[in-house]
Amino acid sequence: MTIHIGADSGEIAQTVLLPGDPYRARWAAENFLKNARLVNEVRGMLGFTGTWKGHRVTIHGSGMGMPSLSIYVNELIRDYGARTLIRIGSCGGMQDHVALRDVILAMTASSISTPSKGILRELNFAPCADWSLLQAAAQAAQRRGTRTHVGGIYSSDVFYDERPDLNEQMVRHGILGVEMEAAELYTLAARHGCRALAVLTVSDHLLSGAALSSAERETSFADMVEIALEAAFA
């Protein structure tokens, strides 16, 4: 048990999928895991452990934003021994060739700041995905026929952004999409010698203003869960 996770030691698997939304964690556990058991509900942040094709997996909410994710990922790695951590979430598309429902595999995650800034200070550390997970996820997505992009994303501290000039620079520099968690996930994984990846569905588009319906979000979420599980155990 930690400050934010009520699971006993041994109740968290080495492989953890991290949706932002705790209800998505429950949905994914109910639909993809065998013998899924609730192992955390502190502050309503649900975590489940079960098996997928015989492999132990935990699916645990991260909350929204890097400070929230940082709390859970620190405890999952340092106290529970998690070794492979895959974020499954949504992002806003930032390029014309990136469409709603497309999957983005985040090779790198740029940011203005992360919770790790305090220790990295003047270093512009480049948070990047684990290559073995990235490669396996790209192959899994290709097998499934999912329209997929691999490249850089932006991890923002704000959803309601007031810096159009910064977004312009992101677009200009080929950033595929914006979300709010991956840069800190990648930084923590690097610090602790773990594997990490963010698998993201484009749920809205910053250039066109289009957005997925909630039914479309659910089917695209299922796609991401399968890509993440196949990548984790490739």
List interacting residues with ligand HPA (CB under 6 A).
90-92, 156, 159, 178-180, 203-204, 206
The radius of gyration of the chain's CA atoms, rounded to the nearest angstrom, is 16
Least CB distance to ligand HPA at residue 204 (A) = 5
User: How do beta strands 15-19 and 55-60 pair?
Assistant: parallel
Least CB distance to ligand HPA at residue 14 (A) = 27
| Nearer CB in complex with ligand HPA: 204/216 | 204
Catalytic annotation, pick one of 96, 130, 157, 204:
204
The answer to whether residue 21 is catalytic is: no
| Nearer CB in complex with ligand HPA: 79/204 | 204
Least CB distance to ligand HPA at residue 93 (A) = 8
Beta strands in 9-141 (DSSP E): 15-19, 34-40, 47-52, 55-60, 84-93, 103-110
Which residues on neighbouring strands pair with residue 177, listed in sequence order? 93
Residue nearest to ligand HPA (CB): 92
How many Å apart are CA 199 and CA 206, to the nearest integer?
Answer: 19
A 10 A CB-CB count for 121 gives 8
| Nearer CB in complex with ligand HPA: 137/180 | 180
Least CB distance to ligand HPA at residue 181 (A) = 9
Residue pair 197/84 in contact (Cβ under 8 Å)? The answer is no
Which residues are catalytically annotated?
204
